Chains A and B, each alone.
Chain A
Amino acid sequence: MPKIQVEHLNFHYGAKRALTDVTLAIPERKITALIGPSGCGKSTFLRCLNRMNDTIHGTRVEGRVLLDSQDLYAPGSDVVDLRRRVGMVFQRPNPFPQSVFDNVAFGPRVLGISSRHDLADIVKASLRSADLWDEVKNSLKKDALSFSLGQQQRLCIARVIAVKPEVILMDEPCSALDPISTLRVEDLMRELAREYTIVIVTHNMQQAARASDYTAMMMLTDDRKSGTVIEVGETKMVFTRPQDKRTEGYVTGRYG
């Protein structure tokens, strides 16, 4: 059973439709990449998976997004808990202007954990999981913003992990990083996928090919007014034998 099942999703920013009839299954504990040209709705779709679009005035959703068979958009859904279960890492690293420790401990504290000992354990475990512990263990009180962008991004991942999510959404998590940091984050994703379901938006074809198990190709609809999914499959097949000519055109760089 997929971890997330999206069924006939339409999304509107006010009067403007941004997504049309998106149906997609996100497998559990796999990495699913969303690729497609700019403006086709990839990030909009990603934000539908944890209702981050709710923060934008005038948005409207039709269709269903099921997390473990529960509709996220059902009346009475606990959006705060949803955003704990479905965490997000953004394009630009955005640690809080606080210490490394306080960044990672922030979420657990909000959830009611106050024991210093418990928080220390959570912080250490999360930083280990984010492949950052060895670099910061002697600098936990240091300002998070003093670290490199690659370290900041891994800190943001640790922050997500600290509240024990089930799904991690990543919106172009490496676009601000150097190539080595990018590869470290990709390796980290592979490790994290043992425990978490990961959905990543990326403009980097090589990254999608290297780092994901499944790839969903998004494209503008024929009227070019909204985005939809035109093909989804195992990444190795999408990049060697795509079914849709538009996917072939995009992954080979012929379609801009």
Chain B
Amino acid sequence: MTTTIRSHFDRELARLAEQMLELGSRARRAVADGVQAFARNDVDLAREVISADAPINQLRYQIEEACYQLLAMEQPVAGDLRTIVAALVICNELERIGDHGKKLARICLRSGSDIRPMPSDDIVRMGEVVLLMFDRMLAAMAHRDAAEARAVCQVDDQVDAHYKQLFNVTLSYMLENPRMIGAGTYRIQAAHELERVGDRVTNVGERLVYAVTGELTDLNA
């Protein structure tokens, strides 16, 4: 019979998991708001996203510090060690996802003055795919569901496909109308930020699988 002897450690691990989900939630909001800011040319929203980045970074460092302390104080092994080491990598990825949201907001501010904006429906659609992927991965984190994490990583192929299509469409626009080059460049940059979010969500999934199963593999080569 297993008795919970390390209750203090278990509470700390639970707190770590909560903080990770909080970080994920804020990063998700940064991406969602960044997409909206870019799509609607909403400079106020863009400035909010940029302001919200510093607290995201702060939370990331708090989590990192907590991990170092747990390693030193609790000498974890096996599943506990994998969970904490994975958390160190995942919190970095989540913070970077927040950065991509911030970059989307910055692109909005840079492109806002363009007098011939290009349609943004495909950016929004790509954003929806990426955010759904991210939502599923956050749920997998909450439930420590390695199978779901693996499944979500496969969706990155769709994200990449969206990016390629958007890139080609934008290129055509720019070739047909050189005055669209400015706006087109911003579109491609925005799509690239979303494509990177997909990659980072995959990285999160790989570490989640490692934490739960001990298996370290590339889940979307």
Contact = CB atoms under 8 A, between A and B. Distances in A.
Contacts of B78: 239-242, 247-248, 251-252
Contacts of B80: 252
Interface string B4-44: 11100100000000000000000000000000000000000
Contacts of B214: 240-241
A253 B81 contact: no
A249 interface: yes
B76 interface: yes
Interface residues of B, number: 15
The A interface, classified by DSSP as helix, strand, loop or mixed, is loop
A255 B78 CA distance: 14
A254 interface: yes
Contacts of A255: 2-3, 5
A240 B75 CA distance: 12
Contacts of B4: 254
B60 interface: no
Interface in B77-91: 77-82
Contacts of B76: 252
A205 interface: yes
Contacts of B82: 240-241
A249 B78 CA distance: 9
A239 B79 CA distance: 9
A113 to B, nearest CB: 46
A209 B5 CA distance: 20
A247 B214 CA distance: 15
A249 B77 contact: no
Nearest to A243: B214
Nearest to B10: A254
Interface in B47-90: 75-82
A241 B86 CA distance: 14
Interface string B181-217: 0000000000000000000000000000000001000
A254 B77 contact: no
A248 B76 CA distance: 11
A249 B81 contact: no
Interface string A218-256: 000000000000000000000111100001110111111
Nearest to A248: B78
B75 A254 contact: no
Contacts of A248: 78-79
A209 B77 contact: yes
B75 to A, nearest CB: 6
The 9 closest A-B pairs by CB, nearest first: A241-B214, A239-B77, A253-B6, A249-B2, A251-B77, A248-B78, A252-B80, A255-B2, A242-B78
Given A209-B77, A239-B77, A241-B214, 12 more contacts: A206-B75, A239-B78, A240-B77, A241-B78, A247-B78, A249-B2, A251-B77, A252-B77, A252-B79, A254-B2, A254-B3, A254-B5
11 contacts: A205-B77, A239-B81, A240-B82, A241-B82, A248-B78, A251-B77, A252-B80, A254-B3, A254-B4, A254-B5, A255-B2
